[in-house]
Amino acid sequence: MATKLPETRAESVFKDFKPAYDTAHALAEANRCLYCLDAPCIGACPTSINIPEFIRKIATGNLRGSARTIFESNILGMSCARVCPVEVLCVGECVYNRMDQPPIQIGKLQRYATDMAYDEGWEFFEAGPDTGKKVALIGAGPASLSCAHRLRRYGHACTIFEKRDVVGGLNTFGVAPYKMKADRAVTEAEWVLGIGGIEVKTGVEIGVDVSFSTLEHDYDAIFVGIGLGPDKHLGVPGEDLEGVYGAVDFIEAIKLEPAAFDGVKSVAVIGGGNTAVDCVREALGLGLGAVTMVYRGTEAVMPGYAHEWKAAKVDGAHALWQRSPIAYEGENGRVSGLRLQVFDEHKQPVAGQEERIDADLVLVAVGQSRLLDLLKLDGVNMDHRRILTDAGGFTGRPGVYAGGDLANGAKEVVNAVAEGRDAAVAIHAYLTEA
Amino acid sequence: MPDLSTNCAGITSPNPFWLASAPPANSGAQVMRAFDHGWGGAVWKTLGQPIQNVSSRFGGLHYRGTRGIGFNNIELITDRPLEVNFKEIYEVKKRYPKHAVVVSLMVETEEEWQDIIKRSIDAGADGLELNFGCPHGMCERGMGSAVGQEPTVNEKITSWAKKYSSVPVLVKLTPNVGDIVPHGIAAQNGGADGVSLINTIKSIIGVDLDRLVPEPRVGNASTNGGYCGAAVKPIALHMVAALARDHLFNLPISGIGGISNWRDAVEFMALGASSVQVCTEVMLRGYRVVEDMIEGLENFMRDKGFERLDQLIGKAVPTYSEWGDLDLNYEIVARIDADKCIGCHLCEVACHDGAHQCIHNDPNGSFVPVVDEDECVGCNLCQIVCPVPGCITMAEIDNGYAPATWNEHVWEGAKLRPKKGAH
């Protein structure tokens, strides 16, 4: 089971970016929902939560039913309510957008109903009758938790192997703290495990401590939900200077440790994706001086969500567009600035155009490495960046399934939940076929 | 899990939620789709000599941005051939043997009643509902509410139906009467197995202000219609309760009138209904609303410790008493939670203009109004207008007076507390 998180964590200073609804708010918003048929919000949800139905149940006061409707499709509905980029998913598709009225705040309503379920201790699901089948799940993140929970409803015994000593995966160590803090993710993981019959072995890395072939021998099926690997770096001089962090390492430090970044006056965040924007907002939230995002392309082509970048700008972020570091400069072993190459609008370097900026903290958010080695096995389909599966997570190797960032190339938590759930359906079919 | 299985006047269904006799129960395909969504029963759209309808047919009442809080219609009974209806009833019953299919009927002569009852039962009807309620169109032809408003005619036709029916007979009552009780008694005297109420209320839903013609408009004219939807629930609740508590009336009741969610259904059942019928909410939002109705009822029953519906049905009836039996010495006053108050002063204007002038501006200058508890009569008006849940509560005051009703005061000289706010 999960090891306790440290009491003091750097993330504690953050407040909720989207504060929780009280009852009056929730009722007013729920009653505004049109209860559409074939609602586009459902189509935009990777887990296909019956959104109009759960909102109607808030409006009628059937909160237990509302939460059940959510969890039936998405057992991690509590964290997804906080971390989903609803602006580009359900909320973005709300029909009110088409009449230029504010869309329904689906995420906040989902949080209202699911938090209520946690607070009240409502239980919704029971494990199915024991089938005698055993499934191993690698990684204790959203994909495996979702998969294991569904497998338990079918009655299959589950063992999750997690190389860290905390459960929850990216939800615990990688979510921006103004969306959700680590303790909430651990609470959720333990709530999911509450269905019983899921053994969690932390501190066990498959491929290091236990071989994959041992798992194949000992279990009837395997689900692989190991996510992504360590931060990538640009391979420019000065990367070993103190004060240069990979983005994921930085976020994990503020999520899980009482990390302090004393004396930082200016921060440079390299990259233009969502992790980069998270780093920008986190550095600003921690009060680490001036924060500048350095991105190779223009604002128009940055891969990070527009609504997140807009919020970062409100927080006080600056950007240097069409720039990328060619070296980190340091003093006494500590980073002090960056030399930047200027790019044209096609992300091509402009010869001879270089600049320099100060920075005593550099956060490199240019992607994460891939953990494909574990599955370089006969039958497993993969390309250079992900495991290729069918809609049920089947990898091509009998009994081996995958989901989450490993298989989708890095999407949202809610995608991992959907893929874990759907893989469980496929594994169940595999285990029970005649 | 609580058991929702239902028996209303001998008609059984897996849950108490039935479609009312109306457009949602117009055809076999619709009723089967409704059963797939979870409805426990359906009262088929009224059969009789098929009619010709007008267009348009419906009008909606919208209030402060909320659409369809009330609804009315000028549609008549079925316009589809009887043999088609009977064939579809047969198919529905064959495929859904455990669901209740009640057939609503409206004809004129005894021979017609005999014939249509036989054909309905041959098709597989679990029960019959005599439509003595429709307040538009059909009543001009001597049927519908024209029957329901005359107890002797009601009793006569009910007795015909009972004579020819081998399945339970419900009489659907019209609310367009001064007192519902004699009409329920008339159905009982005619031998009915139960009553269902209310049918729609005679109404004009509104007037088109450009044309100065009432709605719904048919060319350059309109007619009175039948009013229903969420807004009629209080009227229906009273009529159900009035029958349920009457000592001479002892038939089961199928409750109808503005039931839009599980809470409404619980209210009807608490006041004596053993099944509930829904039309308008389905017309506005579809059969799917039943999921929350069932689940909400189950969760309510579980929270209250009820295992079967009969533990809920009629539970509130004994508390429905006469005004003269209410305790005049029971005293409550309004209390405003200063931490929750947003300073809108709606309580103050309501109290000053509509009640007893006991809520005032704070003399110390804050935006939180103050209640003069010595003057507050405990009327609830401020709490009703307050937009913040839980901000105004009505607190019980121990005034030292023993309970005393008006009747006890008049007949036994019971001592009453001094009046408040009556100067």
**CATH number, domain at B54?**
3.20.20.70
Query: Which residue's structure tokens are 């921060």?
Result: A267
**Catalytic amino acids of B?**
134
CA dihedral A200, A205, A209, A212 (to 10 degrees): 90
DSSP secondary structure, B296-309, as one string? HHHHHHHHHT--BG
Distance, in Å, from the CA atom of B239 to the CA atom of B253, rounded to the nearest integer, reads 11
Q: Is the pLDDT of residue B371 over 60?
A: yes
CATH number, position B339: 3.30.70.20
B275 and B340 part of one domain:
no
Q: Among B263, B288, B388, whose Cβ lies nearest the Cβ of A60?
A: B263
Q: Any idea what the Cα angle at residue A366 is, between residues A364 and A370, rounded to 5°?
A: 115
CATH number, position A50: 1.10.1060.10
Residue A129 lies in a domain: no
B84 and B147 part of one domain:
yes
Kindly state the helix (H) or strand (E) to which residue A384 belongs, with its residue range: none
Query: Token pair of A403, please?
Result: 């989901």
List the strands of the sheet with A323-331, edge to edge: A323-331, A334-343, A349-358
Looking at residue B229, its amino acid is G
B233 and B164 part of one domain:
yes
B55 and B129 part of one domain:
yes
Distance, in Å, from the CA atom of A75 to the CA atom of B36, rounded to the nearest integer, reads 26
A310 and A393 part of one domain:
no
A151 and A209 part of one domain:
yes
**Which residues, 6+ apart, have CB-to-CB distance to B410 below 8 Å?**
none
Where does the pLDDT of residue B23 fall: very low under 50, low under 70, confident under 90, or very high at 90 and above?
Answer: very high
What's the mean pLDDT when you consider all of chain B? 97
Mean pLDDT on B3-25: 98
Tell me the per-residue pLDDT of B240-272, one tens digit each, with 9 for 90 and over: 999 999 999 999 999 999 999 999 999 999 999
What pLDDT is stored for residue A3 in this prediction? 57
Residue A235 lies in a domain: no
Residue B419 lies in a domain: no
B287 and B369 part of one domain:
no
What pLDDT is stored for residue A434 in this prediction? 63
Bond into B216 cis (ω within 30): yes
Instruction: For residue A262, count other CB atoms closer than 10 A to its CB.
Output: 5
Q: Is the pLDDT of residue B12 over 50?
A: yes
Within 13 Å of residue B119, how many CA atoms lie on the same side as its CB? 17
Residues of A in contact with B295 (CB under 8 A): 57, 62, 64-65, 68
Contact A57 B292 (CB under 8 A): yes
Instruction: For residue B80, count other CB atoms closer than 10 A to its CB.
Output: 14
What pLDDT is stored for residue A371 in this prediction? 94
Q: What is the ipTM of this complex?
A: 0.91
Q: Is the pLDDT of residue B233 over 70?
A: yes
Instruction: For residue B147, count other CB atoms closer than 10 A to its CB.
Output: 25
B315 and B329 part of one domain:
no
Tell me the per-residue pLDDT of A268-309, one tens digit each, with 9 for 90 and over: 999 999 999 999 999 999 999 999 999 999 999 999 999 999
Looking at residue A348, its amino acid is Q
Supply φ then ψ for residue B349, to 5 degrees: -65, -35
Mean pLDDT on B141-157: 93
Residues of A in contact with B387 (CB under 8 A): 24
User: What pairs with residue A375 in β-bridges?
Assistant: none
The end-to-end CA distance of chain B, in Å, is 55
Query: Which residue's structure tokens are 């139905």?
Result: A53
B59 and B106 part of one domain:
yes
Looking at residue B189, its amino acid is N
A69 and A152 part of one domain:
no
A70 and A26 part of one domain:
yes
B233 and B366 part of one domain:
no
State what percent of residues in chain B have pLDDT above 70: 100
A338 and A353 part of one domain:
yes
The total number of structural domains that make up chain B = 2
Identify the domain boundary among B300, B319, B338.
Answer: B319
Residue B422 lies in a domain: no
What pLDDT is stored for residue A2 in this prediction? 47
Q: Is the pLDDT of residue B176 over 50?
A: yes
Contact assessment for residue B43 and residue B78, using Cβ atoms and an 8 Å cutoff: no
What pLDDT is stored for residue A1 in this prediction? 45
Identify the domain boundary among B264, B296, B319.
Answer: B319
Residue A73 lies in a domain: yes
Bond into B55 cis (ω within 30): no
Sign of torsion over alpha carbons A138, A141, A142, A145:
positive
B285 and B398 part of one domain:
no
The total number of structural domains that make up chain A = 3
Identify the domain boundary among A333, A364, A395.
Answer: A364
**Interstrand relation of B206-208 and B332-336 (parallel, antiparallel or unpaired):** unpaired
Contact B291 A53 (CB under 8 A): yes
Calculate Rg over the CA atoms of chain A.
Answer: 22
CATH number, position A291: 3.50.50.60
Contact assessment for residue A183 and residue A11, using Cβ atoms and an 8 Å cutoff: no
State what percent of residues in chain B have pLDDT above 90: 95
Residue B20 lies in a domain: yes
Distance, in Å, from the CA atom of A208 to the CA atom of B61, rounded to the nearest integer, reads 69
Does B263 contact A at CB distance below 8 Å? yes
Residues of A in contact with B301 (CB under 8 A): none
Instruction: For residue A124, count other CB atoms closer than 10 A to its CB.
Output: 15
A376 and A352 part of one domain:
no
Q: Among A24, A27, A56, whose Cβ lies nearest the Cβ of B292?
A: A56
Contact A64 B299 (CB under 8 A): yes
Contact B389 A60 (CB under 8 A): no
Mean pLDDT on B349-362: 96
Per-residue model confidence as pLDDT tens for chain A (434 residues): 445 788 889 999 999 999 999 999 999 999 999 999 999 999 999 999 999 999 999 999 999 999 999 999 999 999 999 999 999 999 999 999 999 999 999 999 999 999 999 999 999 999 999 999 999 999 999 999 999 999 999 999 999 999 999 999 999 999 999 999 999 999 999 999 999 999 999 999 999 999 999 999 999 999 999 999 999 999 999 999 999 999 999 999 999 999 888 889 999 999 999 999 999 999 999 999 999 999 999 999 999 999 999 999 999 999 999 999 999 999 999 999 999 999 999 999 999 999 999 999 999 999 999 999 999 999 999 999 999 999 999 999 999 999 999 999 999 999 999 999 999 999 999 999 86
Residue A11 lies in a domain: no
B150 and B235 part of one domain:
yes
DSSP secondary structure, B322-388, as one string? -GGGSBTT--EEEEE-TTT--S--HHHHHHHHHS-S-EE--TT--SS-EE-TTT----SHHHHH--S
Residue A1 lies in a domain: no
Across B133-224, the runs of DSSP E, i.e. the strands, are: 169-172, 194-197, 201-203, 206-208, 213-215
Q: Among B285, B296, B388, whose Cβ lies nearest the Cβ of A62?
A: B296
**Which residues, 6+ apart, have CB-to-CB distance to A277 below 8 Å?**
A293, A304, A305, A308, A309, A312
A43 and A109 part of one domain:
yes
Identify the domain boundary among B261, B295, B319.
Answer: B319
Kindly state the helix (H) or strand (E) to which residue A222 belongs, with its residue range: strand A221-224
Q: Is the pLDDT of residue B13 over 60?
A: yes
A358 and A377 part of one domain:
no
Instruction: For residue B312, count other CB atoms closer than 10 A to its CB.
Output: 21
A345 and A392 part of one domain:
no
Residue A8 lies in a domain: no
DSSP structure class, residue A358: E
Residue A5 lies in a domain: no
DSSP structure class, residue A120: H
Closest CA relative to residue A74, chosen from A424, A421, A425: A421
Q: What is the total residue count of chain A?
A: 434
Distance, in Å, from the CA atom of B348 to the CA atom of B353, rounded to the nearest integer, reads 8
Contact B263 A24 (CB under 8 A): no
Distance, in Å, from the CA atom of B258 to the CA atom of B283, rounded to the nearest integer, reads 12
The nearest alpha carbon in chain A to B288 belongs to A53
Residues of A in contact with B389 (CB under 8 A): 23-24, 27
Contact assessment for residue A281 and residue A311, using Cβ atoms and an 8 Å cutoff: yes
B303 and B264 part of one domain:
yes
CA dihedral A344, A349, A354, A355 (to 10 degrees): 50
B368 and B297 part of one domain:
no
A204 and A260 part of one domain:
no
Residue A78 belongs to what domain range?
Answer: 16-120
Identify the domain boundary among A120, A147, A172.
Answer: A120
DSSP structure class, residue B289: G
Residue A417 lies in a domain: yes
Residue B144 belongs to what domain range?
Answer: 6-319
**Interface mutation vs chain A, best among B292, B302, B391, most A CBs within 10 Å:** B292
